[in-house]
């Protein structure tokens, strides 16, 4: 049996508000607009199922207003400072401001308009470059992050800019 991950789906009450948030605020690009279902590049999907959909019939609802308490949707960026500024300037509920995770990555966590937990983190290349710029060598970065030293060295030689 060959099973392949396809996508993550967020059930929505206000599909247009959610689409605007993910498309405009988080910069996600729409791959398909199927009316009640918006598929973004990368596999994240927003869906407003109707009450006749089998899943809704089984659950007894099409949307749970509490949001998902056991799922975090993660995004990474080379422009972490800009992303943090946008989050802090937005009308969003924060779980926490910027923290450094035990492996060294900077993250911020907040909720989308319908209560789903989101994380934005600096991408691994930027994390490794930041650590190198603070005086750490590849061995120390590998030790801190848990990443393979060869992968750290690869990250440190990748083209592109980080804030």
User: Cα-flanking dihedrals φ and ψ of residue 149, to 5°?
Assistant: -55, -40
Q: How far apart are CA 69 and CA 66, in angstroms?
A: 8
- The CATH number that applies at residue 49 is 3.10.180.10
Residues 63-104 have pLDDT tens digits of: 888 777 778 999 999 999 999 999 999 989 999 999 999 999
In a shared domain, residues 118 and 131:
no
SS3 62: coil
Give the alpha-carbon dihedral of 25, 26, 29, 31, to 10 degrees: -110
Residues 34-69 have pLDDT tens digits of: 999 999 999 999 999 888 888 888 888 888 887 777
The domain in which residue 139 lies consists of 124-158
Q: How far apart are CA 12 and CA 40, in angstroms?
A: 15
Number of domains in the chain: 3
**163, part of any domain:** no
pTM across the whole model:
0.88
Residues 8-18 have pLDDT tens digits of: 999 999 999 99
């Amino acid at each position: 049996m060959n099973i392949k991950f396809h996508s993550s789906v967020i059930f929505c009450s206000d599909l247009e508000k959610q689409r605007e948030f993910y498309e405009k605020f988080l910069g996600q690009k729409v791959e398909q607009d199927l009316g009640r279902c918006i598929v973004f590049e990368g596999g994240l999907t927003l869906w407003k199922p109707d009450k006749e959909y089998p899943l809704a019939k089984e659950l007894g609802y099409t949307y749970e207003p509490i949001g998902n308490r056991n799922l975090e949707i993660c995004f990474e960026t080379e422009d972490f400072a800009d992303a943090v500024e946008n989050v802090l300037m937005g009308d969003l509920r924060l779980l926490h401001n910027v923290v450094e995770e035990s492996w060294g990555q900077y993250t911020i966590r907040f909720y989308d308009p319908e209560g789903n937990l989101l994380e934005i983190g600096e991408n691994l290349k930027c994390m490794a470059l930041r650590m190198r710029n603070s005086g750490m060598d590849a061995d120390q970065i590998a030790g801190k992050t848990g990443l393979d030293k060869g992968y750290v060295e690869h990250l440190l030689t990748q083209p592109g800019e980080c804030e």
